[in-house]
Amino acid sequence: MRAKLEVLALVLGFIGLVGTIAATAMPMWRVSAFIGANLIVMEELWEGLWMDCYRQINIRLQCKVYDSLLILPPELEAARGLMCISIFLVLTSLFITVCGTQKSNWCGDNIKTKNITLAIGGSLFLLSSVATVIPVSWVGHTVISNFYNPLVVDAQKRELGTALFIGWATAGILLTTGIILLYSYCKRTSKEEEPYTDIHLMEEKDVQKDGSVDLNRTLSSFHKFQEYV
């Protein structure tokens, strides 16, 4: 059962890695909001961490990489660094988790080292989930606040992009992966202590209790007499 949980954690971790890379690369973090009577709805603007894109009807998508980091708002600048850190953490977590699984030959038969490795992998998955949910939630909060802010003109208001929803889902997957690995670690450590308790119980069985009757059979004198015959 624990081996199946570890395989499930590896599959979820790989899905989390794909989701993190997709959310980081996609330009749809903030999209134009079609509100107001004077807006041209035939044009759509996408804003991402690395580029912005314009999409018009009957015209292919045109994207342009940001010329400078200074033109980005603070939440997008922070999201760049945090999402890159999240990708690195997920990659490291996958590698460490593979080394800590029961089927892995790494560390040989040293179960204690494998358990510690598995716990480290689960903890890194939790950190990657935090590193993903912080920038996604920060950008989402800014978009919603500006949308309902009457001081912001309609042309500058944005809506939540697809990348934000992918980021939230990915953070949930990474969180689930870390919980599964730590649960498997707890089950392993509890199994480590069971042999020691069994040995202790076996030693106690050999000790004669107070007040008990010794039923060991003693040889009779008649038996000794037969030995000489």
Q: What share of the chain is helix, strand, coil (3-state, %, to 5)?
A: 65, 10, 25
**Dihedral sign, CA of 80, 81, 86, 87?**
positive
Separation between Cα atoms, residue 25 and residue 29, nearest integer Å? 10
How many distinct structural domains can be found in the chain? Answer: 1
The pTM of the full predicted model, rounded to 2 decimals, is 0.76
The tokens describing 169, both together, are 């889902």
Query: Would you give the DSSP letter of residue 75?
Result: H
Confidence of residue 99 (pLDDT cuts 50, 70, 90): confident
Asked if the structure places residue 86 within a domain, the reply is: yes
In what order do the strands lie in the sheet containing 43-47? Answer: 59-65, 51-56, 43-47, 30-32, 158-160
Residue in this structure with the two tokens 């894109």, named with its chain if needed = 53
pLDDT in tens, 138-156: 999 999 998 888 888 877 7
The answer to whether residue 207 is domain-embedded is no
More confident residue, 83 or 196: 83
- What CATH number is associated with residue 150? 1.20.140.150
In the numeric block, the tokens 């990348």 are attached to: 163
Structural domain harbouring 120: 2-26+73-190
